[in-house]
């Protein structure tokens, strides 16, 4: 009987497939302002307007400016602001309160320096600023984010002059943390228009994928930020109560939770 030899049948070994996953680490955080960094909650605009009108009127009288009687001054400014606010809602284009005040009163013979205009627009805003609160440890949180080598920026839909908003931030020792500050009245479009998010990325000299956007509005902050390629974090506020953020978007109750969220993204 012949010897039978068994030979192993070679089994082909598949070539290993290498999968490369690229994770873009955040290099900047852009914050919305109202009800994100500054918490206002629901406000009664008419009462705030009346207080601002009185403060600004008394200031103009103190400077010896040719103001009309208070009732005329109040109605004139209220009508103009209401009209421009209505038009901005239709056109999706915010207006500058500073320029509007100048236009309203250009025939009144006011003669103000730029510093005095700063003070005047602040007095209009001051009643609202008194309602704005911040987290007690907000500066410590912002400092921690800076220590994580993150640029910090602000992008806000607003017609309030930047000088007033930055004065408000400075009162809480927050202004120094922000490399870039962008307000919608400076542009011909506003959130949720993707162009303003891209402009913010260009200002920071980063790609959208390197930026985390933190805001309180799902419609105007979170969804458009995701659309342009940013990461997003939803800040809890009355504007999103009982609403769920889009899939994989973290929701935080306070800004102090943000460093941990960034660390999780990095890991």
In tens, the pLDDT along 179-190 reads 899 999 999 999
CB atoms within 10 A of CB 226: 19
Residue 30, SS3 per DSSP: strand
Q: What is the pLDDT of residue 18?
A: 53
Give residue-wise pLDDT tens across range 63-101. Answer: 999 999 999 999 999 999 999 989 998 998 999 999 999
For residue 126 the two structure tokens come to: 């001051």
Interior/surface letters 95-128, b for 16+ CB within 10 angstroms, e for the rest = bbbbebbeebbeeeebebeeeebbbbbbbbbbbb
Record the pTM: 0.88
Q: What is the pLDDT of residue 20?
A: 47
Under 8 Å between Cβ of 225 and 249: no
pLDDT band at 12 (very low <50, low <70, confident <90, very high): low
Q: What is the pLDDT of residue 266?
A: 87
77 Rama class: left (phi>0) / alpha (psi -120 to 50) / beta = alpha
Q: What is the pLDDT of residue 264?
A: 92
Q: What is the pLDDT of residue 201?
A: 97
Residues 6+ apart with CB under 8 A from 128: 40, 43, 48, 52, 160
Please tell me the distance from the alpha carbon of residue 61 to that of residue 188, in angstroms, as a whole number: 35
């Amino acid at each position: 009987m012949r010897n039978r030899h068994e030979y192993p049948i070679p089994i082909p070994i598949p070539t290993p497939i290498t999968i490369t996953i690229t994770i873009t680490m955040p290099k900047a955080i852009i914050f919305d302002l109202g009800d994100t960094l500054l918490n206002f909650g629901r406000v009664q605009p008419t009462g705030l307007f009346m207080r601002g009108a009185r403060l600004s009127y008394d200031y103009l009288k103190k400077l010896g400016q040719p103001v009309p009687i208070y009732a005329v001054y109040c109605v004139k400014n209220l009508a103009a602001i209401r009209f421009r606010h209505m038009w901005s809602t239709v056109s999706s284009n915010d207006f500058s309160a500073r320029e509007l005040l100048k236009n309203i009163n250009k025939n009144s013979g006011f003669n103000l320096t730029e510093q005095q205009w700063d003070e005047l627009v602040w007095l209009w805003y001051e009643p609202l600023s008194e309602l704005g609160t911040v987290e007690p440890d907000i500066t410590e949180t912002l400092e921690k984010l800076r220590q994580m080598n993150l640029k910090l920026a602000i992008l806000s839909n607003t017609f309030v002059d930047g000088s007033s908003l930055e004065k408000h931030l400075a009162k809480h020792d927050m202004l120094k943390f922000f490399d870039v500050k962008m307000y919608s009245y400076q542009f011909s479009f506003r959130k949720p228009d993707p162009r303003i998010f891209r402009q913010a990325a260009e200002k920071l000299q980063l790609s959208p994928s390197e930026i985390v956007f933190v805001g309180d509005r799902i419609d105007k902050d979170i969804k458009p930020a995701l659309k342009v390629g940013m990461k997003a974090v939803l800040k809890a506020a009355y504007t999103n109560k009982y609403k769920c953020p889009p899939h994989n978007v973290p929701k935080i109750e306070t800004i102090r939770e943000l460093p941990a969220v960034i660390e999780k993204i990095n890991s």
